[in-house]
Structure 1
Amino acid sequence: MPSVIVLLAWMIVPLVMTVWFSFQYYNLVNPEAAGFAGLDNYEFLVTDPDFWAALTNTVILLGSVLVITVGFGTLLAVLFDQPFPGRNIARLLAISPFFVMPTVSALVWKNLLMHPIYGVLSVAMRAVGLEPVDWFAQYPLASVIAIVSWEWLPFALLILLTAVQSLDHEQREAARMDGAGAIAQFFFLTLPHLSRAIGVVVMIETIFLLTVFAEIFVTTSGGPGNASTNLAFLIYARALLQYDIGGASAGGVVAIVLANIVAFFLVRSIARRLEV
């Protein structure tokens, strides 16, 4: 009971303070202009074009990373389930990016791989006679999606590989004896078996991907303009760059509501699959 009380206080106190500040005029630059704001902070938020741009970028980032990680994770899981020389080493190398901190991953991609002058991609493009690309200036959101996908692909691979290994070998053998080829086995046997595992991957990744921040902060700082700003970075910018605590708190409340709505439908969907 004491542990439960501490955990509840740890969660409820910041939430209550965020809701309270969302109804207040509270700017750190002008602390005298304080008072009850009503719904003004929320009205300003939903009428601000930056909010809708950040919401759109959040949805694009979330959907793109889910498609990439689930798609490639499924294919890699099937591949790594096959026997080949060095399979254990290959599995270890494929899973290892998940244990790299987001800040470190972003720095590696920014300075080692995607730098327009001395990055690995630029050197490779010059070697074949192509003009190097300034990825974070020309394709900021796509660059962030690539980094986040690289971080989360090992997680999807780990969950899906475990699910593939739990597939009954007798079913595979029976399908093979019935004349089913590799493609037919994948679509009619392996993929249906992975449906629950894919649902779990989608739910967990969705919860975490809604709060992507470090990769954006380190690489693009939400720019150019608001091209790579998501909800998490927008809230940070309002609170710590514009010092508008009331507006940032309103954004935090909206983000919490959206996250809970998404989590509610995902949990219900997975629960229905587990009952089948």
Structure 2
Amino acid sequence: MQHTASSVEPVVVASGGLDPKSGSSVRWLVAPSVGVLMLWMAVPLAMTIWFSFSRYNLLNPDVKGFAGFDNYRFLATDPSFLPSIVHTLVLIIAVLAITVVGGVLISVLFDRKFYGQGVARLLVIAPFFVMPTVSALIWKNMILHPVYGVVASLMRSLGLTPIDWFADYPLAAIIMIVSWQWLPFAFLILFTAIQSLDQEQKEAARIDGAGPFAMFFFITLPHLKRAIAVVVMMETIFLLSIFAEIYTTTGGGPGNATTTLSYLIFSLGLQQFDVGLASAGGILAVVLANVVSFFLVRMLAKNLKGEYEK
């Protein structure tokens, strides 16, 4: 027994961080991966910052030099810049509203046992595994097409005039496509959370006479608050960079009706070949993403703190 205790003691000391040599060894072991990660992140960001302050057009490579804040001033006065910000915010808010509300309702539905539940769950999750370009083509040519689409056929069968969604309501069409893709993600997170709800608490509420609506608003929904915050944070970060759906269906049009910030950066860099302007837009997108992430992380941390205090 004495020999065992003496052999365990150095391990306890090392795990407690009391041995400075152990801490130094850990730092040396972690250093290569941290260095690679820093290079992976820092070098592209540093190059983007440099190009954003430079004159660099791929069609005229001879014109080079320091541009100062000219790229940022020109981008701010671009007629498509403010609409792209508005379209990005509208897209994010609308998709979040649809996916969160739809995810909560579908999770509550699947929390009850019914015949064919496994197959139905697989069908609900399936859109999340479809590539964005493929799903955009499906919606464009098979669902929302004004002549051959399923929606147009249903409208004609009801005596209504089919709608050319991508010409008359292009942003609404993009919102439908993106919501269809991200609804399974919200469902998976929320359904996992709702499965962890204490069944004894639900049984006690039923015994006290709580109806379905009372149980949903006073038991289920408060329990899902933290999961909803996770869904909002994760989806917001990814929705800031939505591109494939817009490029495949509308190309940012008609006009700039579906031009988001990410598509504007693509247009400046790969259609107008202005690397300086595109880099300036990229920096603004990074700043916007970090600001949004900061507030979302604070909201989630506050939510978690409230849960732990309870």
Normalising by structure 2, we get a TM-score of 0.88
| 1:8 partner letter | M
Per-residue CA deviations over 1:137-159 (Å, capped at 9, x if unaligned) read 11110000000000000000000
Please give the alpha-carbon distance, in whole angstroms, between the structure 1 residues aligned to 2:39 and 2:133. Answer: 29
Secondary structure (helix, strand or coil) at the match of 2:80 reads helix
| Equivalent residues in 2 for 1:51-90, closer than 5 Å | 51-90=81-120
Report deviation, 1:3. 2.5
Per-residue CA deviations over 1:119-173 (Å, capped at 9, x if unaligned) read 1111221122211111101111000000000000000000000111100001101
| Equivalent residues in 2 for 1:250-269, closer than 5 Å | 250-269=280-299
Could you tell me which of 194, 202, 206 is aligned with 2:232? 202
Please give the alpha-carbon distance, in whole angstroms, between the structure 2 residues aligned to 1:52 and 1:253. Answer: 16
* 2:212 is aligned with 1:188: no
User: Which residue of 2 is the match for residue 175 of structure 1?
Assistant: 205
Could you tell me which of 129, 132, 152 is aligned with 2:162? 132
Report deviation, 1:269. 1.1
Residues paired across the two proteins, number: 276
| 1:186 partner letter | F
| Equivalent residues in 2 for 1:79-118, closer than 5 Å | 79-118=109-148
Please give the alpha-carbon distance, in whole angstroms, between the structure 1 residues aligned to 2:156 and 2:37. Answer: 54
Gaps of 5+ in 2: 1-30
Please give the alpha-carbon distance, in whole angstroms, between the structure 2 residues aligned to 1:137 and 1:18. Answer: 35
Please give the alpha-carbon distance, in whole angstroms, between the structure 2 residues aligned to 1:128 and 1:275. Answer: 53
* Runs of 4+ residues over 2 Å off in structure 1: 1-4
Instruction: Indicate the structure (1 or 2) with the bigger Cα radius of gyration.
Output: 2
Identify the structure with bigger relative contact order (alpha carbons < 8 Å, sequence gap 6+): 1
Secondary structure (helix, strand or coil) at the match of 2:252 reads coil
Identical columns (%): 63
Secondary structure (helix, strand or coil) at the match of 2:204 reads helix
| 1:24 partner letter | S
* 2:152 is aligned with 1:122: yes
| Equivalent residues in 2 for 1:236-247, closer than 5 Å | 236-247=266-277
Could you tell me which of 165, 177, 184 is aligned with 1:147? 177
Per-residue CA deviations over 1:163-211 (Å, capped at 9, x if unaligned) read 1110000110111111110001000110000000000000000000000
Could you tell me which of 26, 34, 46 is aligned with 1:4? 34
Report deviation, 1:7. 2.0
Report deviation, 1:5. 1.8
Please give the alpha-carbon distance, in whole angstroms, between the structure 1 residues aligned to 2:278 and 2:223. Answer: 43
Per-residue CA deviations over 1:22-55 (Å, capped at 9, x if unaligned) read 0011111112222111001001111222100000
Gaps of 5+ in 1: none
User: Which residue of 2 is the match for residue 39 of structure 1?
Assistant: 69
| 2:134 partner letter | V
Normalising by structure 1, we get a TM-score of 0.98
Please give the alpha-carbon distance, in whole angstroms, between the structure 1 residues aligned to 2:226 and 2:90. Answer: 24
Secondary structure (helix, strand or coil) at the match of 2:237 reads helix
User: Which residue of 2 is the match for residue 50 of structure 1?
Assistant: 80
